[in-house]
């Protein structure tokens, strides 16, 4: 039997970003599951048991920082690595998402948006290989 595919949960309220990230990861053999906000993400983590979560910071309902905190404080999901995706580093002064929030969140790593495909694959592989 072949190895089970590694499962990545991608959480973003932007459909285009979800599609783009799926198109980067799927050809590399990852199974991609998506959620459109932090609330849905928490449910998907329970039902899908992903190996890694890619989490957009700026989302309605429950932003990436809050979702990350919830994942990291739950015994079921605290072992799942979280990579925050953030477009805020460039417009940090105009943002209600200060960079220290990114640094304070218990995410293992964060990537700037727009995501560089090679960088994304490198980070994902670093957690899943």
Task: Tell me if 52 sits within 8 A of 9, measured CB to CB.
Answer: yes
Print burial letters for 33-56: b (CB count within 10 Å at least 16), e (below 16). bbbbbbbbbbebbeeeebbbbbbb
Q: For residue 25, what is the enclosing H or E element? A: helix 15-25
Residue-wise pLDDT tens digits, 49-67: 999 999 998 888 898 989 9
pLDDT of 99 strictly over 70: no
Q: How far apart are CA 62 and CA 65, in angstroms?
A: 8
User: What SS3 state is found at 59?
Assistant: coil
Report all structural domains of the chain as residue ranges with CATH numbers, in order of start: 7-128 (3.40.50.2300)
Least reliable range by pLDDT among 42-51, 58-67, 103-112: 103-112
Q: What is the pTM of this model?
A: 0.88
Task: Tell me if 74 sits within 8 A of 41, measured CB to CB.
Answer: no
């Amino acid at each position: 039997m072949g190895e089970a595919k590694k499962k990545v949960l991608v959480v973003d309220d932007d459909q285009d970003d979800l599609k783009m990230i799926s198109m980067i990861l799927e050809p590399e053999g990852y199974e991609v599951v998506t959620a459109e906000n932090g609330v849905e993400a928490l449910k998907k983590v329970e039902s899908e048991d992903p190996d890694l979560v890619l989490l957009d910071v700026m989302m309605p309902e429950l932003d990436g920082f809050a979702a990350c905190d919830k994942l990291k404080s739950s015994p079921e999901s605290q072992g799942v690595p979280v990579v925050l995706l953030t477009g805020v580093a460039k417009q940090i002064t105009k943002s209600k998402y200060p960079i220290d929030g990114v640094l304070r969140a218990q995410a293992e790593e964060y990537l700037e948006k727009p995501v560089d495909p090679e960088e994304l694959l490198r980070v994902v592989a670093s957690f899943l290989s």
